[in-house]
Structure 1
Amino acid sequence: MNTTENSSPANSQKIRAIVVGVGLKSDPLTEIKESLLELEDLTSAWGAEVVGSSVQVLPQFQAATLMGSGKVQEITEMIQETEANVIIVDHSLSGVQGRNLEKSFGVRVMDRNQVIVDIFALRAKTYEGKLQVELAQMLDQLPRMVGAWMGSLSRQGGGIGAKGPGETALENDRRRIRERVKAIRKKLEGVRKQRKQHRSLRRRQQIPTFAMIGYTNSGKSSLLNQMTGSQVMAKNQMFATLDPTTRKVYLPEAGPAVVTDTVGFIRKLPPHLIEAFKATLEESEDADILLHVIDLSSPSMDQQVRVVDDLIQEFGWDKKPVIYVFNKIDVAPFEKQFQVKAFPRVFVSALTGEGLDKLRKQMTVALQSINEKVQLYFPKEEEYKIYELSRESQILKSEPASTGTVLEAQLTPEQLSRWGAYLLKK
């Protein structure tokens, strides 16, 4: 099975893949087929040629091979006909299942999660990105190692004395991976602290923050470039952006703000990938407002919106204001705009710049709506805290009194919660 090394086609010759969708009868058939089509796109993004596809719907998954024996036989014949040298299954496989299928097929077997992680490995350019990808690979590999120990670290670097007393080779491998995971997490913690310091500085400077989120390849990086005049890498490919990029934008009646472009989402996002990219996701977690960028031209638009909305819920970001930004109006049929129900919404083209003035205006409206004008009272013995408040919010008025100071300030919901003890009741 997979090792922690990059297993992309860049390391091998002419990869010919068969993609296999496996679902349950309780699953909507359209969802199974859409997911398989997406896997074909992922396989192409990985660098392989898709030479065949197959789907099976079962009452229940088979413990040994996930799919039924008849389907295994059918795919074996497809391998001979197409000269495929890798099978990619649109479902997570256990180590045992992967090993059993490789024995039956006589070719390499991967699952959707492994392909996604490998694409991330291909795209990672920075120190932080590479660390996060390596962590995702390690977390993906650990549960597969039980019953599927093949070409392991110990076999690669084995020899007398390679194992600790009483350890099997498998136990030794798992111990090495856990140690590496611990070391990577420690390094990433340093990255997280550094990012947190940058965000804290922006808060002290009272700079509003927006985070661009959305399905992969929805045009977030192109939109950021068009909005800010920057040159962030923007390609028409899945997961072109891994590392968060922050740029300044000027908003009418609101002044400067920052917008951060983050990694794209996808359905069936591997949990270990979410775990590994915590430092990146925190950029969205700390933003004042989310810009949910949507590809209006995609046939799967509604499903993609649901996937991202579900992840917003899962990450606990559902209390944040969201602006739905429907991108690619230059290629989408005009009537699709009438099918949109999300609100507040803006229709834009990152390619032509159409609709960007409306987007900036909507961002200003959103900022004004989250800030509430309130009065606070600080008694004499706590007036030193006024300086702290001034570093993160706008103080509109200050009136000294004999027992303390009354302030009028513009606060966000988060700040209202933090400074609630000093609020004057209306």
Structure 2
Amino acid sequence: MTDRSDDRSADQPGGGWSTEGLGYLQDEAARQRVFVVHPYVKDSRKADALVRSPEARLEEAKGLALAIDIDLVGGECIPLRGVRPATYLGVGKLGDLKDFAKEEEIDLFIFDCELSPIQQRNLEREVGAKVIDRTALILEIFGNRASTKEGELQVELAHLNYQRSRLVRSWTHLERQRGGAGFMGGPGETQIEADRRIIADRITRIKRQLETVTRTRTLHRAQRQKTPYPIVALVGYTNAGKSTLFNMVTDAEVLAEDMLFATLDPTMRSIDLPSGRKIILSDTVGFVSELPTMLVAAFRATLEEVLEADVIVHVRDAAHPDSEVQKKDVEEVLGDLGVDFESDADGTPIIEALNKADLLTEDMREAAMNKADRQDRVVALSGLTGEGCDTLIQAIDAILSAQDHRVELTVPYSDGATQAWLHANAKILSEKHGEDGVCYNFTVDPVAWAKFTAKTR
């Protein structure tokens, strides 16, 4: 059995909701000892190659747990014949978990599934430790990582909605009633009713704050749209290596760790392409399967750059055994956001970046290179070593260049501002000096050209 510090104050199972602090994993004395459980019904798994194995699901859940400052003891896949409505697990496995929790001094079990409030409460009673589900874990991660005002408000709103359904967890005082005013009849307000009212009031206040923040964000977006540079967004499953690739390409120092959800707030940098064009590269939050529905709004707020992007780079962890499943998850979320994968003509151009080539086996590497050779918008690369990054930049440049307008324009000699803008933002194919001015033959990004001409009218 592992010894721990004597000054540690072990948390008791259960515990109520508080309007101050929304964390599930908070412990003032030390990091909590956590064990991850992935229960699955054996006969319910589909015979589909694009379905994660229980072992892969467990590893992802453990990775999510490690994104929080806890002491991860381990994890276990638990096959089930069926889900029990009261406790999710059977009596035998509950007994095993109870003994394990006592022996290893487990403070918290994370169940990689969705638990009902009743199941959560009963599990805590049976195993003698705190229990949270996948939704609560992801809420905790977002709550710790969100830094923008809107992100913080959206996460807190999701927390409150989640906790409102769980006020019956293990509270011992919820049956008490507060007496009403002396002249009023009736038994008064129960504690749980009061807590629900407090949460409802806070939800109302947060929604009002969100309306104000959303209006401000709309103004900021309108300001960003005035920039003459195309936006290229890096998207992908969490821990696919987007931030590492972003740092390699832009020489930035964005947090890049082997950790799920290392990036939650978009980061943007400008870079120059070989053609001389300047673009804005945006690093976004990583995607994850089974994102809690109550977090979709907060998640979308971090992905607004994707919706405005001129090019999307889908960064994939080519070395991950579930790379194809992750690709499917990302495409489903992008499809829900309105990104069109089916139409190359009307949709946003998408480049598939097969990242982590340095970790591929020889056979996997050959397959990735062959795929990149056969398909125009597929690039094999390594954000860590820089291999293939030049090819990615060239692919972005080629897509944007294909969208360029070809224009022939005579600019008066006195119009130095237009001449300067063309030399800075357009690819000049030829220029001839005449009596009326300089005749330019050039290609230019249509968005940038439209914004410039609108200003000069």
Fold match (TM-score > 0.5) = yes
Structure 2 counterpart of 1:131, from 139, 142, 153: 153
The structural deviation recorded for 1:292 is: 1.0
The structural deviation recorded for 1:201 is: 3.1
Structure 1 residues 153 and 128: CA distance shift in structure 2, 3 A: farther
Partner of 2:84: 62
The structural deviation recorded for 1:38 is: 1.2
**Aligned pair 1:261/2:286, yes or no?**
no
Q: Distance in 1 between matches of 2:144 and 2:336?
A: 27
125-134 or 356-365: bigger deviation: 125-134
Q: Distance in 2 between matches of 1:76 and 1:91?
A: 19
Structure 2 counterpart of 1:367, from 372, 383, 400: 400
- SS of 2:44's partner is coil
Q: Which amino acid aligns with 1:234?
A: A
Q: TM-score, normalised by structure 1?
A: 0.77
291-300 or 6-15: bigger deviation: 6-15
Q: Which amino acid aligns with 1:13?
A: A
Report Cα offsets for 1:358-414 as digits up to 9, x if no partner.
11111122224456789xxxxxxxxxxxxxxxxxxx9x9xxxxxxxxxxx99758xx
Report Cα offsets for 1:196-243 as digits up to 9, x if no partner.
333333433442112211111222122222222222232232211111
Partner of 2:436: none
**Aligned pair 1:358/2:366, yes or no?**
no
Q: Which amino acid aligns with 2:393?
A: R
Gaps in structure 1 of 5+ consecutive residues: 375-393, 397-407, 416-426
- SS of 1:204's partner is coil
Report Cα offsets for 1:229-280 as digits up to 9, x if no partner.
2222322322111111121122233611112111111122211122223321
Q: Distance in 2 between matches of 1:231 and 1:190?
A: 32
Alignment of 1:367-406 (within 5 A): 367-369=400-402
Partner of 2:299: 277
Partner of 1:177: 199
The structural deviation recorded for 1:298 is: 2.4
- SS of 1:144's partner is coil
The structural deviation recorded for 1:99 is: 0.5
- SS of 1:63's partner is coil
Task: Supply the RMSD in Å over aligned alpha carbons.
Answer: 3.4
Q: Distance in 1 between matches of 2:78 and 2:405?
A: 55
Partner of 1:50: 72
Partner of 1:140: 162
Partner of 1:403: none
Partner of 1:110: 132
Report Cα offsets for 1:277-330 as digits up to 9, x if no partner.
332122222222211111223233222222212222232223432111122223
Report Cα offsets for 1:132-151 as digits up to 9, x if no partner.
33223223223333x43638
Q: TM-score, normalised by structure 2?
A: 0.73
Partner of 1:385: none
Q: Which amino acid aligns with 1:320?
A: T
Q: Which amino acid aligns with 1:150?
A: W
Partner of 2:171: 150
Structure 2 counterpart of 1:27, from 45, 63, 67: 45
The structural deviation recorded for 1:49 is: 2.9
Q: Distance in 2 between matches of 1:138 and 1:204?
A: 37
Structure 1 residues 152 and 243: CA distance shift in structure 2, 3 A: farther
Q: Distance in 1 between matches of 2:86 and 2:29?
A: 29
Report Cα offsets for 1:133-174 as digits up to 9, x if no partner.
3223223223333x436389999xx97779x99644323323
The structural deviation recorded for 1:96 is: 0.9
Q: How many positions carry a matched residue from both structures?
A: 379
Q: Distance in 1 between matches of 2:175 and 2:315?
A: 45
Structure 1 residues 62 and 154: CA distance shift in structure 2, 3 A: closer
- SS of 2:303's partner is helix
Q: Distance in 2 between matches of 1:339 and 1:193?
A: 48
Q: Is the 8 A contact 1:135 1:276 kept in 2?
A: no
Structure 2 counterpart of 1:7, from 7, 20, 24: 24
Report Cα offsets for 1:77-102 as digits up to 9, x if no partner.
22233222211111011111110111
Q: Is the 8 A contact 1:247 1:260 kept in 2?
A: yes
- SS of 1:272's partner is helix
Q: Is the 8 A contact 1:192 1:279 kept in 2?
A: no
Partner of 1:297: 319
The structural deviation recorded for 1:126 is: 4.4
Q: Is the 8 A contact 1:22 1:56 kept in 2?
A: yes
| Percent identity between the two aligned chains | 36
- SS of 2:354's partner is strand
Q: Distance in 1 between matches of 2:175 and 2:297?
A: 26
Q: Distance in 2 between matches of 1:130 and 1:226?
A: 29
The structural deviation recorded for 1:10 is: 5.2
Q: Is the 8 A contact 1:188 1:279 kept in 2?
A: no
Q: Which amino acid aligns with 1:93?
A: L
Q: Distance in 1 between matches of 2:137 and 2:74?
A: 17
Structure 1 residues 247 and 14: CA distance shift in structure 2, 3 A: closer
68-77 or 256-265: bigger deviation: 68-77
- SS of 1:235's partner is coil
Q: State the structure with more CA Rg.
A: 2
Structure 2 counterpart of 1:325, from 353, 375, 378: 353
